[in-house]
């Protein structure tokens, strides 16, 4: 029996998909992948098997993936020859070829089945890996939460220590205190230091007369100052520049 290979035209190969478990519609990814490999190598490594049905006609027995991938490869690279290298068996020898294919397939399936069944040690390792992964995730989330809480506490602590800007009316009411007296002069410095001090002194005198009285409006502040000391426009400037 001659096991030599031959190049035959793809058009001369007849398919009978009903005789095969291969469905090209569900194997599109595999076909595409092998087709790209054929283009890169400029050829196919595995050799399909055909049965001679005539002088120049054949029926595909084994190698459906290779056949469809070759067709796809020619679509991707039209320069590839539209021929396929195959083993050709006559009617009498095809049964022997099929027996060999069946034996090879059984061994292949047994190896695949054994390789897919993890032993006890592998299962234990997988469980440990899974547990460690979960612990790592939980720990990471806990650390992240603690960091965020710490950030908020630090920001809150810093914020509480930052002196809040005192509204101008409250500063005027507390002008008898040296700190606020200096603050008023500083805030009004844009009017000129001399004028700022004069206004602060006048407000302090007014508060000394009646310490329980509070300024409710800026108009009341203007009224306790000498006429013409502060215009409405300047008072608005003071309010805008205060913070």
Domains annotated on the chain, with CATH: 5-115 (3.90.1530.30), 168-241 (no CATH)
> Please, how many CA atoms are within 13 Å of residue 23, restricted to the half-sphere of its CB?
2
Q: For residue range 26-45, what is the model confidence (pLDDT) as tens digits?
A: 999 999 999 999 999 999 98
Q: Which two tokens stand for residue 44?
A: 């196919």
**pLDDT: which is higher, 126 or 37:** 37
Task: Please choose, from the candidates 84, 70, 100, 92, the residue with its C-alpha nearest in 3D space to the C-alpha of residue 5.
Answer: 84
d(CA 120, CA 165): 70
Q: What is the pTM of this model?
A: 0.43
Would you place residue 228 in the very low, low, confident or very high pLDDT band (cuts 50, 70, 90)? confident
Give yes or no for residue 166 having a pLDDT over 70.
Answer: yes
* For range 58-87, the mean pLDDT: 92
Q: Are strands 5-9 and 83-89 parallel, antiparallel or unpaired?
A: antiparallel
Q: Who's near 189: CB < 8 A, 6+ residues apart?
A: 196
Are 184 and 200 within 8 A, CB to CB?
Answer: yes
Burial track 62-79 (b if 16+ CB lie within 10 A, e otherwise): bbbbbbbbbebbbeeeee
């Amino acid at each position: 029996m001659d096991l030599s290979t031959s190049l035959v035209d793809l058009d001369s190969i007849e398919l009978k998909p009903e005789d095969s478990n291969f469905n090209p519609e569900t194997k599109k990814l595999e076909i595409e992948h092998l087709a790209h490999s054929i283009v890169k190598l400029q050829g196919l490594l595995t050799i399909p098997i055909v049965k001679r049905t005539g002088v120049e006609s054949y029926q595909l027995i084994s190698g459906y993936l290779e056949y469809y991938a070759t067709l796809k490869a020619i679509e991707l690279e039209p320069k590839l020859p539209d021929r396929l290298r195959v083993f050709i068996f006559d009617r009498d020898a095809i049964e022997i070829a099929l027996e060999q294919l069946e034996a090879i397939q059984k061994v292949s399936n047994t190896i695949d089945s054994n390789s897919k069944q993890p032993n006890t040690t592998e299962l234990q390792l997988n469980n440990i890996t899974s547990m460690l992964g979960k612990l790592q995730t939980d720990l990471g989330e806990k650390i992240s939460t603690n960091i965020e809480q710490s950030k908020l506490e630090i920001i809150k602590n810093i914020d509480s220590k930052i002196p809040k800007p005192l509204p101008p009316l409250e500063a005027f009411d507390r002008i008898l205190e040296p700190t606020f007296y200096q603050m008023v002069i500083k805030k009004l410095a844009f009017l000129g230091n001399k004028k700022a001090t004069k206004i602060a002194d006048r407000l302090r005198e007014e508060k000394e007369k009646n310490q329980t009285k509070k300024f409710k409006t800026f108009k009341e502040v203007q009224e306790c100052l000498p006429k013409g000391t502060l215009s409405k426009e300047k008072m608005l400037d003071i309010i805008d520049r205060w913070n």
